[in-house]
Amino acid sequence: MTRRSGSKALTWMAVSAVAFSAPALADENASLVVNGEIEMVTETDAPAHLEGVLGDKIRSGWTFRARETQALQLDDFDNPGMIFVDQAAEQWDTVEGSEGKSCASCHDDVETAMAGVRATYPKWNDQAEEVRTLVMQINDCRENQMGAEPLKYTDGKMTAMEALISVQSRGMPVDVAIDGPAQSTWEQGKELYYTRFGQLDLSCANCHEDNFDNMIRADHLSQGQVNGFPVYRLKNTKLNNSHARFKGCIRDTRAETFSPGSDEFVALELYVASRGNGLSVEAPSVRN
Amino acid sequence: MQLKKLTVAAALVAGAATAGEIAPGDVVFTEDGAIEISLSGAPGVAANAPEIMDKGAGNCIACHQITALSDIPFHGEVGPSLDGAGSRWTEAELRGLVANAKMTFEGSVMPSFFKVDGFNRPGDAYTGNAAQEPLEPLLTAQQIEDVVAFLLMQKDQ
């Protein structure tokens, strides 16, 4: 993970410049194998709860991107998102807060402790009696275990930590639970997904269900899956959390958005994640 | 998908409109979603349409392909091609489509360009903040007439 060199970082910048000027079509039959060893499932059978609304198959956002953008995810050397993952790995061992603890004080080695965690989030927390996103859980540890200040929902340090934890599940199938105590939150998320917002009067489904694979202006619409989040965007050169993306999409309908971390976006994240059950955890993926 | 029910133009509080201009709340649609009279009271100027349909307030090209504007890059695929629209539709039908396509195609994803109420969490343009009421329509009455004039010129080859 820490095998990054300065010259490699320059390589992706050159590649991204090409991606901006001449968007080549996505290679939909390409397969994504990261570092020559982690095989990603980028297309698979749609989960039963979708009842066929996306057809037979669900697809990772990676399959919709231009070849040049796709290529940046093949190797951690080329993936600019990994810089932030490396930073979070240092953060993992850094003591913060009144209790004199770091993440490592409780969880030891991130690779073993966090393997498989991302795949099941957002997830019901029995004690708190709420559905928690990874960000909420990280902040809970900060406040209640470390005695540290909670981070803002989309703070760069937070998104990097989310990415570090997600990386430990790379290649594992997304498997969020939608039944039991999580069900009512899931239903709320589903309702939001189909609600039209803003003066353009568009729902998530209008773009990502009715029109995936179509171009909207210069954008190739994907199914709006979150299996790749946090996502490194060439557009803003940083890692982006899924709630920041939701906010951007709702803003683009000329609507008043919800806030990252709001009950609405927590429910929406659970619902959208469940639409991708079976796709691989891919974070940090790279998008334009 | 044509709307069956008769559409009533519920005259809510109509915003101040210039003489001869119809306010969004006063528009009368026919049963099939057409609007018979000019919204601005003046004829449309087709030459103004390309800018409106490109990155202007209409952004029609985001969703539609149209050969007459092929010098503008990146036409979308969400809606049908607008080539030949002037052969398929009358002026009144095109006016209705641009003003509020949902009166012609129930549940359409095409935004309503001359509508100012009934939205869920309307925003202040693309800021993500709540809108300043009252809302302005996405296109002015005259901009709609300009686009309609341009679409009418798109005849089948």
- pLDDT attached to residue A15: 37
Determine, for residues A206 and B109 on separate chains, whether the beta-carbon distance falls below 8 Å: yes
Chain B residues in contact with A201 (beta carbon < 8 A): 111-112, 119-120
Is A98 one of the annotated active-site residues of the chain?
Answer: no
Chain A residues in contact with B66 (beta carbon < 8 A): none
Show the 3-state SS of B105-151: CCCCCCCCCCCCCCCCCEECCCCCCECCCCCCCCCCHHHHHHHHHHH
Give the dihedral sign, CA B20/B22/B26/B30: positive
| Residue ranges of domains in chain A, CATH in brackets | 41-286 (1.10.760.10)
Which positions of chain A have pLDDT values less than 50? 1-22
Is the pLDDT reported for residue B153 higher than 50? yes
Give me the residues of B, 55-74, that contact A with CB < 8 A: 59, 61-63, 73-74
Residue recorded with tokens 């990603």: A40
Q: What is the ipTM of this complex?
A: 0.91
| Residue ranges of domains in chain B, CATH in brackets | 31-37+44-152 (1.10.760.10)
**Beta pairing class for A123-125 and A130-132:** antiparallel
pLDDT tens by residue, B107-132:
999 999 999 999 999 999 999 999 98
- pLDDT attached to residue B14: 40
CB pairs under 8 A between A and B: 79
Q: pTM for the whole thing?
A: 0.91
Mean predicted lDDT score pLDDT of chain B: 90
Burial A133-164 (b: 16+ CB within 10 A, else e): bbbbbbbebbeeebebebbebbeeebbbbbbb
Least confident stretch, A3-12, A183-192, B69-78, B94-103: A3-12
Determine, for residues B74 and A251 on separate chains, whether the beta-carbon distance falls below 8 Å: no
